[in-house]
Chains A and B, each alone.
Chain A
Amino acid sequence: MNAVNLTAEHIFATGLRDQWHPVVPSSFVAPGAMRKVTVLGEQWLLFRRSDGTLSMLADRCPHRGAPLSLGKHLGDRVACWYHGVEVESDGTVASVPGLPGCNLEGKKLVRSLPVREVAGAVLAYFGTEQQPQPSELTLPDPLVDPDVDAFLCYAEWDVPWRYAVENLLDPMHGAFLHHDSHTMFDGDTTAKFRIRETDRGYFFEKTDQRGVNFDWVELCRTGVDWVDLSIPYPPSAGPGGAFGIVGMVRPVDEERCAVFFWRYRKVQGWQRDTWRFLYKTLIEERHWDVLEQDRVMLEAMPSDADQQENLYQHDLGVVRLRRMYKSAAEEQAGA
C-alpha cells in the first residue's frame, strides 16, 4: 500500500510514512533467522543471513500472496511454504521450483525496505512511491555519544501509537501517575509549562522547576521521531547524576504500538560499570514498574479518549503534537 491510496485518517491512525521507524531490538532476529512483524498496519518479514546481513521484506509471496514468514530460511533467501517460490534478501525472485524458467524469476517483485541497526535496535525506512529513497537520518545524540552508556528497554502495548507519544509530551503525569516510584516521587504537583521551538522539534518544559521530576521533554524529528528527557536518580544510584531517556514509538496498527526506551547516563570508567551492575541487578526492575504504570493507564483509556476532552494549559505539548501529526498525515495523503 502506498500513500496514493491511503487516507489521512489511516495514516494518522497507523503512523506517518516517508520516515524511519524503529522495528524491534536487533537481538530479536538472530543470524540465520527470520521474524514477522506488523508495522504501520502492514505485514513484514525481517530476515537475517548467517553473516548478519539484515533485510526487511513485505511478508507476501509475489506468487499468490502467502506469508513468506511461514516459509523456510534458506541461508541467502526465503522459500515460500506454499509453492516453494524463492525470494532473495533484496526482494528478487531467485527461483520458481515448480516451473523453472518462469518469467517471475529475476524480477524484484517483493518490496524491501532500507534498514539500519542503531544502538541495539533495527530501524527501517517506510517510504512511499513518491519518496522511495530513504530520507536523511540523524541519530539521537545520546545514542552516538561515546561518553554516554545506554540500555534499551522494549515493550509492546495495546495502545494506539499516538497515545504513547502523547504520554511522553505530557511531563506533568510524572508527579501523579509515577508518584509511587523510585525516581518521580518528588517535585511540585502544580506547574506552568511553555513550548520552546528548536530546529528539530520543540521542548515542552516547566517554567518553574528543573531537575526534580520529569520536568521537560524534547520532541525531535530527525528522520526518525524520538523524544529526549531527563529524570533525576536518587542518591542510591551512585555517581553520574540524572538518567536520560531516548524514547521512540513504533505504530503496529490502529490499536497497538511497541515502545523503545533507551535509558542512558553520561558515565565512564568505574562509575559506568557500577551503574550498569546496579541497573542489571536492581534498577531495571524498578524502571519496569514505572513503565507498567504508563501501560496500565494508557491501555485503560477509552478508544474515544481524544474525542471528548477538556484540556488545560498542561496539554499544550499534546495539542501541538496532534496538530503536527494531523497536518503531516493530510499532506502525505495528498488531501
Chain B
Amino acid sequence: MSDNPSKNTAQDWPYLEIHQSRTHEPTPYEYKLAATLEDVFTKDGHALEDVVRGLNARKVHAPDGAAWTEESFAAEMHRLGA
C-alpha cells in the first residue's frame, strides 16, 4: 500500500523485458556450467551418464571442487533450475 498513487499503478508502455524467468544475474560459475552443458549435450549425448562424464572430462567441477556424480549433478540442477 502506498500513499503515492503513481507508485501503485506505475507502468511504462511497452513492457519489453528480455529476462523474465531469472531471480538473479547468473554468476560466472553458472554461465560457465551452462555453456559447458550445451557443449556436452551437443557433442556427448543426452543421457545423465554422458553429461556427468562430459563435464568431468572438461574439468568443469561442482561448486565444492569435486568431480560430478549423477547424484551431485541432479542435486545441483535442482538447486539452480527449480
Contact = CB atoms under 8 A, between A and B. Distances in A.
A117 interface: no
Given A275-B81, A277-B80, A281-B26, A153 B11 contact: no
A192 interface: no
A73 B14 contact: no
B18 to A, nearest CB: 5
Interface in B1-27: 1-3, 5, 8-9, 11, 13-22, 26
A36 B82 contact: no
A155 interface: yes
- Which of B3, B11, B82 has most A Cβ within 10 Å? B11
Determine the interface band of chain B, counting residues with CB < 8 A from chain A. Answer: 35 or more
B3 A72 contact: yes
A282 B73 contact: no
A73 B31 contact: no
Contacts of B20: 25, 151-154, 284
Contacts of A278: 34, 37-38
A210 interface: no
Contacts of B33: 277
B42 A281 contact: no
A242 to B, nearest CB: 14
Contacts, number: 121
A6 interface: no
Contact of B8 (A50, A73, A154, A284): A73
A285 B19 contact: yes
A50 B51 CA distance: 45
B46 A281 contact: no
Interface residues of A, number: 49
B58 interface: no
Given A35-B11, A280-B21, A284-B19, A273 B38 contact: no
B1 A280 contact: no
Contact of A273 (B5, B8, B11, B80): B80
A155 B14 contact: yes
Contact of B14 (A33, A157, A236): A157
B38 A269 contact: no
Contact of B46 (A152, A157, A235): A235
A71 B68 CA distance: 56
Contacts of A151: 20-21
Given A25-B20, A273-B77, 13 more contacts: A35-B8, A45-B9, A72-B1, A75-B1, A81-B5, A151-B20, A156-B13, A235-B41, A269-B74, A278-B37, A281-B31, A282-B35, A284-B22
Contacts of A334: none
23 contacts: A50-B1, A75-B1, A81-B5, A151-B20, A152-B20, A155-B14, A155-B17, A156-B13, A158-B14, A236-B38, A236-B39, A238-B46, A238-B51, A239-B47, A258-B15, A270-B74, A273-B74, A274-B77, A277-B30, A281-B26, A281-B30, A281-B34, A282-B38
Given A270-B48, A277-B80, A285 B8 contact: no
A34 interface: yes
